[in-house]
Structure 1
Amino acid sequence: MRWILALLAVLTLLTGVLLLSNRSLQHDLTLTGQQRDALKAQLQQRETLIATLNQQMRQRERAELVLRENLSTAQRAMQTREHQRQGELHDDPQLRVWADTALPAAVSRLHQRPAFNSTGDYLRWLSGSQPVPGTVRATGN
Protein backbone atom coordinates (compact mmCIF):
# COMPACT_ATOMS: atom_id res chain seq x y z
CA MET A 1 0.00 0.00 0.00
CA ARG A 2 2.83 2.37 0.65
CA TRP A 3 4.13 1.92 -2.79
CA ILE A 4 0.64 2.76 -4.14
CA LEU A 5 0.65 5.98 -2.10
CA ALA A 6 4.16 6.73 -3.29
CA LEU A 7 3.09 6.01 -6.86
CA LEU A 8 0.04 8.28 -6.44
CA ALA A 9 2.25 11.04 -5.01
CA VAL A 10 4.69 10.69 -7.91
CA LEU A 11 1.81 10.68 -10.41
CA THR A 12 0.28 13.75 -8.74
CA LEU A 13 3.63 15.52 -8.82
CA LEU A 14 4.15 14.48 -12.42
CA THR A 15 0.64 15.73 -13.32
CA GLY A 16 1.41 19.09 -11.66
CA VAL A 17 4.68 19.39 -13.60
CA LEU A 18 2.90 18.48 -16.83
CA LEU A 19 0.16 21.07 -16.14
CA LEU A 20 2.76 23.78 -15.47
CA SER A 21 4.65 22.75 -18.60
CA ASN A 22 1.41 22.80 -20.58
CA ARG A 23 0.58 26.28 -19.30
CA SER A 24 4.07 27.49 -20.25
CA LEU A 25 3.72 25.95 -23.72
CA GLN A 26 0.28 27.56 -24.14
CA HIS A 27 1.78 30.94 -23.23
CA ASP A 28 4.61 30.40 -25.72
CA LEU A 29 2.07 29.41 -28.37
CA THR A 30 0.05 32.58 -27.71
CA LEU A 31 3.19 34.76 -27.94
CA THR A 32 4.23 33.02 -31.15
CA GLY A 33 0.77 33.61 -32.63
CA GLN A 34 0.96 37.30 -31.72
CA GLN A 35 4.42 37.55 -33.27
CA ARG A 36 3.15 35.80 -36.39
CA ASP A 37 0.24 38.25 -36.64
CA ALA A 38 2.61 41.22 -36.20
CA LEU A 39 4.92 39.84 -38.89
CA LYS A 40 1.93 39.33 -41.20
CA ALA A 41 0.92 42.95 -40.68
CA GLN A 42 4.48 44.13 -41.40
CA LEU A 43 4.61 41.98 -44.50
CA GLN A 44 1.28 43.39 -45.70
CA GLN A 45 2.53 46.95 -45.12
CA ARG A 46 5.71 46.19 -47.07
CA GLU A 47 3.76 44.63 -49.91
CA THR A 48 1.53 47.72 -50.03
CA LEU A 49 4.60 49.97 -50.00
CA ILE A 50 6.22 47.94 -52.79
CA ALA A 51 3.04 48.14 -54.86
CA THR A 52 2.86 51.91 -54.31
CA LEU A 53 6.52 52.37 -55.23
CA ASN A 54 6.08 50.23 -58.35
CA GLN A 55 3.10 52.35 -59.38
CA GLN A 56 5.08 55.55 -58.80
CA MET A 57 7.98 54.11 -60.80
CA ARG A 58 5.65 53.32 -63.72
CA GLN A 59 4.18 56.83 -63.54
CA ARG A 60 7.67 58.34 -63.58
CA GLU A 61 8.67 56.15 -66.51
CA ARG A 62 5.58 57.30 -68.42
CA ALA A 63 6.33 60.93 -67.54
CA GLU A 64 9.94 60.47 -68.62
CA LEU A 65 8.77 59.00 -71.92
CA VAL A 66 6.44 61.97 -72.46
CA LEU A 67 9.28 64.37 -71.65
CA ARG A 68 11.61 62.57 -74.05
CA GLU A 69 8.96 62.75 -76.77
CA ASN A 70 8.44 66.45 -76.08
CA LEU A 71 12.19 67.02 -76.20
CA SER A 72 12.42 65.14 -79.48
CA THR A 73 9.54 67.17 -80.91
CA ALA A 74 11.15 70.41 -79.75
CA GLN A 75 14.50 69.38 -81.26
CA ARG A 76 12.84 68.56 -84.58
CA ALA A 77 11.01 71.91 -84.53
CA MET A 78 14.26 73.71 -83.72
CA GLN A 79 16.06 71.92 -86.56
CA THR A 80 13.24 72.76 -88.94
CA ARG A 81 13.37 76.43 -87.92
CA GLU A 82 17.16 76.49 -88.22
CA HIS A 83 17.00 74.97 -91.72
CA GLN A 84 14.32 77.48 -92.64
CA ARG A 85 16.42 80.35 -91.26
CA GLN A 86 19.49 79.11 -93.09
CA GLY A 87 17.46 78.84 -96.29
CA GLU A 88 16.10 82.35 -95.90
CA LEU A 89 19.58 83.64 -95.11
CA HIS A 90 20.95 81.91 -98.19
CA ASP A 91 18.12 83.11 -100.46
CA ASP A 92 17.94 86.75 -99.33
CA PRO A 93 21.21 88.69 -99.87
CA GLN A 94 19.92 91.70 -97.89
CA LEU A 95 19.18 89.47 -94.88
CA ARG A 96 22.61 87.84 -95.24
CA VAL A 97 24.33 91.26 -95.14
CA TRP A 98 22.30 92.22 -92.08
CA ALA A 99 23.16 88.94 -90.30
CA ASP A 100 26.89 89.33 -91.09
CA THR A 101 27.00 92.90 -89.77
CA ALA A 102 28.90 93.14 -86.49
CA LEU A 103 27.09 94.38 -83.42
CA PRO A 104 27.93 97.86 -82.13
CA ALA A 105 30.69 97.93 -79.50
CA ALA A 106 28.31 98.92 -76.69
CA VAL A 107 26.08 95.93 -77.42
CA SER A 108 29.08 93.59 -77.66
CA ARG A 109 30.28 94.76 -74.24
CA LEU A 110 26.90 93.76 -72.77
CA HIS A 111 27.63 90.18 -73.80
CA GLN A 112 31.05 90.14 -72.12
CA ARG A 113 31.36 89.18 -68.49
CA PRO A 114 33.82 87.14 -66.47
CA ALA A 115 33.12 83.73 -65.02
CA PHE A 116 31.64 83.89 -61.52
CA ASN A 117 32.14 81.45 -58.65
CA SER A 118 29.32 82.79 -56.50
CA THR A 119 26.45 85.24 -56.49
CA GLY A 120 28.58 87.61 -54.40
CA ASP A 121 31.17 87.75 -57.18
CA TYR A 122 28.42 88.57 -59.67
CA LEU A 123 26.99 91.32 -57.45
CA ARG A 124 30.45 92.86 -56.96
CA TRP A 125 31.05 92.79 -60.72
CA LEU A 126 27.60 94.20 -61.41
CA SER A 127 27.96 97.08 -58.93
CA GLY A 128 31.41 97.94 -60.29
CA SER A 129 30.41 98.03 -63.95
CA GLN A 130 29.66 101.20 -65.88
CA PRO A 131 26.03 102.20 -66.36
CA VAL A 132 24.52 101.56 -69.76
CA PRO A 133 24.52 104.82 -71.73
CA GLY A 134 21.18 106.35 -72.57
CA THR A 135 19.92 106.57 -76.12
CA VAL A 136 21.15 109.53 -78.09
CA ARG A 137 18.11 109.72 -80.29
CA ALA A 138 14.63 108.29 -80.02
CA THR A 139 13.89 105.34 -82.22
CA GLY A 140 11.24 105.54 -84.87
CA ASN A 141 9.15 102.74 -83.38
Structure 2
Amino acid sequence: MRLLPALLAGMVLLIAILLLSNRSLQHDLNNAGLQRDALAAQVKQREQLITVLNQQMRQREQAELALREDLSTARQMMQSREKQRQRSLHENLQTRQWADTGLPADVSRLHQRPAFSSAIDYLRWLSGGQLMPDPGQQTGHQ
Protein backbone atom coordinates (compact mmCIF):
# COMPACT_ATOMS: atom_id res chain seq x y z
CA MET A 1 0.00 0.00 0.00
CA ARG A 2 2.75 2.36 0.70
CA LEU A 3 4.03 1.80 -2.74
CA LEU A 4 0.99 3.30 -4.42
CA PRO A 5 1.29 6.79 -2.87
CA ALA A 6 5.04 6.82 -3.56
CA LEU A 7 4.37 5.74 -7.11
CA LEU A 8 1.72 8.45 -7.50
CA ALA A 9 4.08 11.07 -6.01
CA GLY A 10 6.82 9.97 -8.41
CA MET A 11 4.42 10.19 -11.34
CA VAL A 12 3.28 13.68 -10.28
CA LEU A 13 6.91 14.73 -9.99
CA LEU A 14 7.65 13.26 -13.42
CA ILE A 15 4.63 15.02 -14.95
CA ALA A 16 5.75 18.32 -13.38
CA ILE A 17 9.25 17.86 -14.82
CA LEU A 18 7.78 17.02 -18.24
CA LEU A 19 5.52 20.11 -18.12
CA LEU A 20 8.46 22.37 -17.24
CA SER A 21 10.54 20.76 -19.96
CA ASN A 22 7.65 21.21 -22.43
CA ARG A 23 7.33 24.89 -21.47
CA SER A 24 11.09 25.40 -21.98
CA LEU A 25 10.98 23.66 -25.34
CA GLN A 26 7.93 25.72 -26.38
CA HIS A 27 9.82 28.91 -25.45
CA ASP A 28 12.84 27.77 -27.50
CA LEU A 29 10.52 26.97 -30.42
CA ASN A 30 8.97 30.43 -30.26
CA ASN A 31 12.45 32.05 -30.19
CA ALA A 32 13.53 29.94 -33.15
CA GLY A 33 10.41 31.05 -35.05
CA LEU A 34 11.17 34.70 -34.32
CA GLN A 35 14.77 34.25 -35.47
CA ARG A 36 13.56 32.51 -38.62
CA ASP A 37 11.19 35.41 -39.36
CA ALA A 38 13.95 37.97 -38.76
CA LEU A 39 16.33 36.07 -41.03
CA ALA A 40 13.64 35.77 -43.71
CA ALA A 41 13.12 39.56 -43.55
CA GLN A 42 16.87 40.12 -43.89
CA VAL A 43 17.03 37.78 -46.88
CA LYS A 44 14.12 39.64 -48.49
CA GLN A 45 15.85 43.01 -47.91
CA ARG A 46 19.07 41.67 -49.41
CA GLU A 47 17.23 40.33 -52.43
CA GLN A 48 15.61 43.73 -52.93
CA LEU A 49 19.01 45.42 -52.56
CA ILE A 50 20.52 43.02 -55.09
CA THR A 51 17.69 43.82 -57.51
CA VAL A 52 18.23 47.57 -57.08
CA LEU A 53 22.00 47.21 -57.50
CA ASN A 54 21.52 45.13 -60.66
CA GLN A 55 19.23 47.81 -62.08
CA GLN A 56 21.78 50.51 -61.25
CA MET A 57 24.53 48.44 -62.84
CA ARG A 58 22.49 48.08 -66.05
CA GLN A 59 21.76 51.82 -66.05
CA ARG A 60 25.46 52.60 -65.60
CA GLU A 61 26.38 50.23 -68.39
CA GLN A 62 23.85 51.93 -70.67
CA ALA A 63 25.13 55.37 -69.64
CA GLU A 64 28.72 54.26 -70.25
CA LEU A 65 27.78 52.97 -73.68
CA ALA A 66 26.03 56.26 -74.48
CA LEU A 67 29.10 58.21 -73.30
CA ARG A 68 31.38 56.05 -75.43
CA GLU A 69 29.16 56.68 -78.46
CA ASP A 70 29.13 60.41 -77.72
CA LEU A 71 32.91 60.37 -77.35
CA SER A 72 33.28 58.58 -80.66
CA THR A 73 30.96 61.07 -82.35
CA ALA A 74 32.87 63.98 -80.80
CA ARG A 75 36.18 62.52 -82.03
CA GLN A 76 34.82 62.15 -85.53
CA MET A 77 33.53 65.72 -85.48
CA MET A 78 36.86 66.99 -84.15
CA GLN A 79 38.77 65.12 -86.85
CA SER A 80 36.43 66.45 -89.51
CA ARG A 81 36.81 70.02 -88.25
CA GLU A 82 40.58 69.66 -88.04
CA LYS A 83 40.70 68.41 -91.62
CA GLN A 84 38.52 71.31 -92.70
CA ARG A 85 40.76 73.76 -90.82
CA GLN A 86 43.87 72.28 -92.42
CA ARG A 87 42.26 72.52 -95.86
CA SER A 88 41.31 76.16 -95.30
CA LEU A 89 44.87 76.96 -94.13
CA HIS A 90 46.37 75.42 -97.26
CA GLU A 91 43.85 77.08 -99.58
CA ASN A 92 44.16 80.65 -98.33
CA LEU A 93 47.58 82.30 -97.92
CA GLN A 94 46.23 85.14 -95.80
CA THR A 95 44.59 82.73 -93.35
CA ARG A 96 47.80 80.70 -93.12
CA GLN A 97 49.84 83.82 -92.33
CA TRP A 98 47.32 84.86 -89.68
CA ALA A 99 47.44 81.38 -88.08
CA ASP A 100 51.26 81.38 -88.06
CA THR A 101 51.44 84.77 -86.33
CA GLY A 102 52.40 84.50 -82.66
CA LEU A 103 50.18 85.78 -79.89
CA PRO A 104 51.08 89.01 -78.09
CA ALA A 105 53.13 88.48 -74.92
CA ASP A 106 50.27 89.42 -72.57
CA VAL A 107 47.93 86.92 -74.22
CA SER A 108 50.61 84.19 -74.18
CA ARG A 109 51.08 84.76 -70.47
CA LEU A 110 47.38 84.07 -69.89
CA HIS A 111 47.90 80.57 -71.30
CA GLN A 112 50.78 79.77 -68.95
CA ARG A 113 50.01 78.05 -65.67
CA PRO A 114 51.70 75.37 -63.61
CA ALA A 115 50.51 71.78 -63.41
CA PHE A 116 48.09 71.22 -60.52
CA SER A 117 47.67 68.05 -58.49
CA SER A 118 44.40 69.12 -56.86
CA ALA A 119 41.66 71.72 -56.98
CA ILE A 120 43.05 73.33 -53.83
CA ASP A 121 46.38 73.96 -55.59
CA TYR A 122 44.50 75.61 -58.46
CA LEU A 123 42.54 77.83 -56.05
CA ARG A 124 45.75 78.84 -54.28
CA TRP A 125 47.34 79.67 -57.62
CA LEU A 126 44.30 81.74 -58.62
CA SER A 127 44.19 83.67 -55.35
CA GLY A 128 47.96 84.17 -55.29
CA GLY A 129 48.10 85.90 -58.68
CA GLN A 130 47.95 89.60 -59.28
CA LEU A 131 44.48 91.02 -59.28
CA MET A 132 43.08 92.57 -62.42
CA PRO A 133 42.48 96.31 -62.10
CA ASP A 134 38.92 97.48 -61.58
CA PRO A 135 37.66 98.79 -64.93
CA GLY A 136 35.95 101.67 -63.15
CA GLN A 137 39.20 102.93 -61.63
CA GLN A 138 41.87 104.86 -63.45
CA THR A 139 45.24 103.23 -63.85
CA GLY A 140 48.62 104.89 -63.82
CA HIS A 141 49.03 104.26 -67.58
CA GLN A 142 46.55 106.92 -68.68
1:100 is aligned to 100
Percent of aligned positions that are identical: 61
Task: Give the one of 124, 127, 130 matched to 1:126.
Answer: 130
* 1:102 Cα offset (Å): 2.0
> Aligned partner of 1:100: which letter?
D
Compute the displacement of 1:120 (Å). 3.4
Instruction: Give the 3-state SS of the residue equivalent to 1:126 in structure 2.
Output: coil
Equivalent-residue separation in structure 1 for 2:30 and 2:39 (angstroms): 14
1:54-103 CA-to-partner distances (Å, cap 9, x unmatched) read 11111111111111110111011001110111112122222212211222
Aligned residues: 132
In structure 2, give the amino acid aligned to 1:61: E
Q: Does 1:111 align with 2:115?
A: no
Q: CA RMSD in A?
A: 2.4
**Alignment-mate amino acid for residue 125 of structure 2:** D
Alignment-derived partner of residue 76 in structure 1: 76
Q: Which runs of no fewer than 5 residues in structure 2 stay unpaired?
A: none
| Secondary structure of 2:103 counterpart | coil
- TM-score, normalized by length of structure 2? 0.80
Name the aligned partner's letter for residue 40 of structure 1: A
Report the Cα offset of residue 122 of structure 1: 2.3
Alpha-carbon distance in structure 1 between the residues aligned to 2:18 and 2:112: 95
User: Shift of the alpha carbon at 1:111?
Assistant: 2.9
Alignment partners' CA distance in 2, 1:113 and 1:17: 89
